[in-house]
Amino acid sequence: MKKTNWMLLSLAAMCGIFSSCRQDNTLTKNEADNGWELLFNGRDLSEWCNYNDTVLTNGWKVVDGCIQASGEGADDSGYIVTKRKFSDFELTWDWKLTHGGNSGMIYHVVEHPVFAVPYVTGPEYQLIDNKGWEEVNAPEKLEEWQKLGVDYAMHLPDYSKMHVNPVGKWNTSKIVFDNGHVEHWLNGEKILEFEAWTDDWFQRKNSGKWAHAPEYGLAGEGVICLQDHGDPASFKNIKIRPLPHKGGQTESLFNGKDLTGWEPFGDGKWSVDEDGNLVTENGDNKQYGYLCTRKYYKDFDLTLEFKQESNGNSGLFFHSFIEGFNTVHGWQCEVAPKGSDTGGIYESYGRGWLQQIPDEKESVLKEGEWNTLRLRVEGNHIQTWLNGVTMSDLEDELIGNSSGRLMLQIHDGNDIKVLWRNFQLTQLPSN
């Protein structure tokens, strides 16, 4: 009897030690050594705030070591986001829903007043009680792209690998985003993987729910978001391990044959001439037009050549995004007729000129001839050169905290035509 009691006590002690190694909302030594970080400490929401805000006021609480959504949210409200941005990462979390519950984990979310909700910019790992939701909302049925584990409205999981614990029990999910390679995991099984920003990815984006959300999924960096979609939900053990972003890659942004890799917005005409030059000119309505890369870029060194024909009022936008038909938010390296600060830096819908060029440098521009323009953005540091001459050199925190598309502008007005060629961009390791 004494021996048995001793064995039971020893087993209980061992279980207690084992349990302490698996305390919620903590990191093991091995996790800490391998770069994992906690996004929730089990006590408060100091790492989180409302979407598009700096405070937390929308009903999310910490209860018994879990983040809990009150269930008072809706499609246009109820989102909380991390105060930090993440690019490439491995993210794990535990979650449980109520009967019929609907929630989600959204990443690479862009915060800006133009975007009313996070999901128009960030991809979502869908969290939903499939069967319960259909019971609660009968006779309405979920589309396949709305079900648990999907890359929402984009990619479906392998259902044979999905093992879901009953409603009210904890499940563990994981997202891996590694330089465009994406994986969804559920309870230890990889259920989905795909490559972002491929032709197939853009075909899915432009033919479905996101056809009218031009900035969806492009960012490659942003805050992480939890969704209260009108149902209580609980989260714990939210951990992230940042992965290295691959820099040093040089790519040609224009193939000299067609507009592969570019998207037009607004009023402009875009073509490739017989010499393999990209031609941008006025549209029929003589309004602003933009030819935009399909990808976002953050830290980079870009060199290109341009030649102004007729009125050469244009610009090279960077860290920018489109709103509606032809409204641009971001920053511009000016390309314009002589006397108009080609190579200067301008902020659209904001502070205006950040740096104009000295008058004596206006002669560097060769109108009617080919010019070489270089734009380097590295963190807060922005530099431009025109034909080898420094035109701008400034530090700006707002630019450093953003990323976005590159865009070629056609200004409103008459007889505007600019030719472009030899786009060479080197991505730099992000700070």
pLDDT at 220 over 80: yes
User: Which tokens in the block code for residue 124?
Assistant: 């979502």
| Prior bond of 123 cis (ω within 30°) | no
Domains assigned to the chain? 28-242 (2.60.120.560), 250-427 (2.60.120.560)
pLDDT digits (tens, 9 = 90+) for 121-146: 999 999 999 999 999 999 999 999 99
Supply the pLDDT for residue 22. Answer: 64
- pLDDT at 243 exceeding the cut of 80: yes
User: Mean pLDDT across the chain, nearest whole number?
Assistant: 92
In the Cβ-directed half-sphere of 169, how many Cα atoms lie within 13 Å? 7
Instruction: Say if residues 101 and 126 touch (Cβ distance below 8 Å).
Output: no
Q: How far is CA 177 from the centre of its chain?
A: 11
Residue that the structure tokens 């067609």 belong to: 258
Distance between CA 127 and CA 213 in Å, rounded?
Answer: 22
**Residue tagged 């009313």 (tokens):** 116
Residue 149 predicted with pLDDT over 60: yes
Q: What is the pLDDT of residue 431?
A: 57
Q: Please state the rounded mean pLDDT for residues 210-232.
A: 94
- Digit-coded pLDDT (tens) for 22-68: 699 999 999 999 999 999 999 999 999 999 999 998 889 999 999 99
